[in-house]
Amino acid sequence: ILIESETGEILYEKDAYAHRAPASVTKIMSILLVVEAVDEGRISLGDVVTVSEYASSMGGSQIFLEPGEKMSVEDLLKSLVVVSANDAAVALAEHVYGSSSGFIDAMNEKAKALGMENTCFKNTTGLDEDGHFSSAYDVALMTRELLKHEMIFKYTSIWMDTIRDGAFGLSNTNRLVRFYDGANGLKTGFTSSAGYCLTATAKRDDMRLITVVMN
């Protein structure tokens, strides 16, 4: 699907409402809930999060958090956005809502509020799980909502950066950020069942477009 960001007008669509495994594009909702919590003052970017054993146990894309390790919300958010870190996603979920399950409930409530009728979240990361699905149209809806929070572009437009005082490098999985004129986000994803997924946004002059490609 391809939409104009400000109005939500659909410019192109194909199978936009079909249920698809969303892989790490799921994390757009995770990021949205974290950014909302920051903007509403419920948490701050400077908060220090103590990593739980559960958060550190996530597989797939990660920053290799250790149980008991302390990291700021900002560095966790940066890691979540730039390298799609599953362990950072869970650590933030636990910090914002007290538990991963509480955060997942909030993800589904937000999806319902946004009119995402072809979405069901079972986890915060996008790792393959029965009953965890979304659609290209729904991903576009939550992407459009996220882009209302200007602070997110500070992270989505990063090409390379570091955490842990420069000891751990981050390189954006979204190559468009470097090579496509106007691109400044947003999220890639891949699992064997989801295939390659991307939601991307670019702005030229005064027009911003959002595109979502799944599977």
| Active-site residue list | 24, 27, 84
Paired tokens of 44:
């701050």
Q: 150-169 burial by CB neighbour count: b if 16+ within 10 A, else e? A: eebeebbbbeebebeeeeee
Paired tokens of 170:
């981050």
Amino acid in the structure at residue 168: F
Q: Which residues in 26-130 belong to E strands, given as ranges?
A: 48-50, 70-72
Q: How far apart are CA 26 and CA 170, in angstroms?
A: 20
Q: List CB contacts of 26: < 8 A, sequence separation 6 or more.
A: 121, 123, 124, 125, 126, 132, 134, 189
Phi-psi region of 168 (alpha: psi -120 to 50; beta: other; left: phi over 0): beta
Q: How far apart are CA 46 and CA 48, in angstroms?
A: 6
With CA atoms as reference, report the closest residue to 90 among 129, 50, 128, 118. Answer: 50
Q: Is the peptide bond before 170 cis (omega within 30 degrees of 0)?
A: no
